[in-house]
Amino acid sequence: MKKVAMIVYMMVMAALISACTVNADANADVTYPILNEVSNEDEEPYRFEIEEVVEQLDEPKVETREASSVVSGGASWIFAKTQEGSRGTVTKRFEKLYNRNGDLLSRIEIPDAKTVDATKPTLYEGGQRAQAGAFYDASRITRYGVDCVGCNMSSDGKGGTSAGIALGLDSVRQRNGEWKKGITYEGYYIIATSATIPLCTTVEISNHTVSGMGITPGVPFKAIVLDRGGAIQGSKIDLFVGRETNMPVTQGRRQDAKVKILGLNSRTKTNGKWACGV
């Protein structure tokens, strides 16, 4: 009897469970999540960029140094440029952070990434050869005329220089062979120097007290090297003034002057007469 009752109970429970079951549509699409699915998007939320900033340092200064040695054909008292100055720079590097929209979020200088190219001075050193732009201090200025002792002036009051330029007591033969009143050659006053300064070299003389024949004390004037002299050694210069009797040019209180070399010029001979290419 108990066995029959258990069977009936099981059949009733099965019927109840069957009634509560919902039949699913066999054709319905069902999407199941994939837990290890990886996105194909390559976009990064942030972007880094390195920026270089170059800053200029101070302008180069000019330095003058005494001769540590003398180049061939040079002199300790001639100063010339041995180094061209250059303005230095400082290069700094920054790391910049942008978001996905391109907005700058931060800008930070990178430690130990700075590089410095130091400023180099323009350097003039003694012991150099005569050249355009070189300069020196003339230790003394003297004056002479065509009638000086040992100048071998002719009976008509004419003489000549070591460069072969004819001079008179009150005139000078020019490049074209014509004589011109005064004491200049092609517009340049005439000076004698040591052989360290080549013949036909043009110079500018300043910081002087010479006066007369168009020269004003303290005002720079241009001259040309056309002569030599036994007593003209080192940095001394001798200014041609025409005549030594009643000199038309006075020297003033200063004995020295500053000399800047403007250019070295050719010396040529045409029809037996020498000339300088100025």
pLDDT at site 43: 53
pLDDT at site 35: 46
Beta carbons of 275 and 268 less than 8 angstroms apart? yes
Full-model pTM: 0.76
Tokens (6 digits) for 184? 């200049």
**Pairing mode, if any, of strands 188-192 and 221-227?**
parallel
Nearby residues of 232 by Cβ (< 8 Å), 6 or more positions away: 142, 192, 193, 194, 238
Task: Give the integer Cα–Cα distance in Å for 207 and 47.
Answer: 66
Q: Which of 188, 197, 185 is nearest to 228 (CA)?
A: 197
Sign of the C-alpha dihedral computed for residues 92, 97, 103 and 109 taken in this order: negative
**Pairing mode, if any, of strands 79-83 and 122-126?**
antiparallel
pLDDT at site 9: 53
- Kindly report the backbone phi and psi dihedral angles of residue 11, in degrees, each rounded to the nearest multiple of 5, phi listed first: -70, -40
Three-state DSSP class for residue 217 = coil
Question: Can you spell out the DSSP letters for 135-166?
Answer: EEEES-EEEE-TTSTTS---TTSEEE-TTS-E
Task: Give the integer Cα–Cα distance in Å for 164 and 199.
Answer: 10
Q: Which residues of 118-139 are buried (b: 16+ CB within 10 A; e: fewer)?
A: ebeebbbbbbbbbeeebbbebe
Burial of residue 23 (CB within 10 Å: 0-12, 13-18, 19+) is exposed
Q: pLDDT 10s per residue in the chain (278 long)?
A: 544 445 545 554 555 445 545 454 545 555 555 544 544 455 567 899 999 999 999 999 999 999 999 999 999 999 999 999 999 999 999 999 999 899 999 999 999 999 999 999 999 999 999 999 999 999 999 999 999 988 889 999 999 999 999 999 999 999 999 999 999 999 999 999 999 999 999 999 999 999 999 999 999 999 999 999 999 999 999 999 999 989 999 999 989 999 999 999 999 999 899 999 99
217 C-beta neighbours (distance < 10 Å), count = 14
Q: Which domains does the chain have, with CATH numbers?
A: 48-126 (2.20.230.10), 135-276 (2.40.40.10)
State the virtual CA torsion across 274, 246, 209, 75 in degrees, nearest 10: 40
Beta carbons of 161 and 257 less than 8 angstroms apart? no
Q: Which of 172, 273, 156, 155 is nearest to 213 (CA)?
A: 172
